[in-house]
Amino acid sequence: MKKLVVGLGNPGPEYEWTPHNIGFHVVEHLATREKSIFQSAAKLPGHEGSANFLWAESPADKIGGGDALLVKPATFMNLSGKAVAPLVRRFGVPIENVFVVYDELDLPLGTLRIRPHGGTAGHKGMESIVMELGSDRFPRLRVGIGRPRTDAARHVLTKFTKDALVEAEIAAANAADALLDWLVQGDLASTMTRFHSRWNQGSEAP
C-alpha cells in the first residue's frame, strides 16, 4: 500500500449529507467514478485486525496511479484514528501519503483548501488521527461548511438544506478532482498550485 485517502464522517444513514460527513461524500464520489464499491475491512487482502473501516479501490489504480485505497472509518468521528492508524501501520503507508478529507467550520460553504500538514483547529476526527498516528505531518483537504450563528454541534449534524446541498455536492466533486490528481501524479505541491488557482484564483486562506 502506497497511499490512503481517508474521508471523515459518522456511520449510519441518519448522518448522510450532514456537514460533518462531507469527507465521506468526497471519497464516495471518487469511488463512483470508476464504479468502485466500498467493502468491509474483512474483505481487504492482507489486512488482519480490526474491522472498523470500509475501503474501496482507488480509481488511480485503474489508470496507472499506483497502489492506493479509499477509506471511510466505521467508527464515529471522534474515534477516527482508531480505524486509520492500524491500517497505516499494517501496510507501512508513509505518513505523508495519508491524505485526510474533512469538514471545516472556519471556511465558507463549498470552499476548498489543501494543506501539507498542520493543526486540527479542534476537529475531533483530526484530533483522533493525530493522536493515534503520533504526527500531524500528513496532507489534508478541508471542505468548508460555514460557521453557524448558533450551535456548531447541531450545525454539523443537521442535514444540508436544499440550496446548501447543491453547494456541498459541487464541492465534493471538485475535491475528488484534486484527490485524483494527487493519487495519479503523486506531487502534492503541484496539486495545491493547480487546484487552489482553479478554486480561488490563487488566493490563500487560513
CA torsion, ordered 201, 149, 119, 128, to nearest 10 deg: -130
Asked if 164 and 109 count as a contact pair (C-beta separation under 8 A), the reply is yes
The answer to whether residues 86 and 93 touch, using CB atoms and an 8 Å cutoff, is no
How much of the chain, in percent, has pLDDT values that exceed 70? 93
Non-local (6+) Cβ contacts of 86 within 8 A are 49, 50
Residues β-bridged to residue 142:
102, 113
Look at residue 82 in the predicted model and tell me its pLDDT.
95
- Which residues are known to be catalytic? 20
C-alpha–C-alpha distance, residues 48 and 75, integer Å: 17
Percent of the chain residues topping a pLDDT of 90: 75
| pLDDT tens, residue by residue, 153-184 | 899 999 999 999 999 999 999 999 999 999 98
pLDDT, tens digit (0-9, with 9 covering 90-100), for 33-83? 878 899 999 889 888 777 799 999 887 665 555 688 999 999 999 999 999
SS3 sequence, 149-190?
Answer: CCCHHHHHCCCCCHHHHHHHHHHHHHHHHHHHHHHHHCCHHH
The pLDDT of residue 115 is 97
Q: Which three cell numbers stand for residue 157?
A: 449534524
- CATH superfamily placement of domain 3-200: Peptidyl-tRNA hydrolase (3.40.50.1470)
Query: Residue 204: what pLDDT?
Result: 44
SS3 for 28?
helix
pLDDT at 206: 43
Q: What is the pLDDT of residue 47?
A: 80
What is the chain's mean pLDDT, rounded? 91
Confidence of residue 205 (pLDDT cuts 50, 70, 90): very low
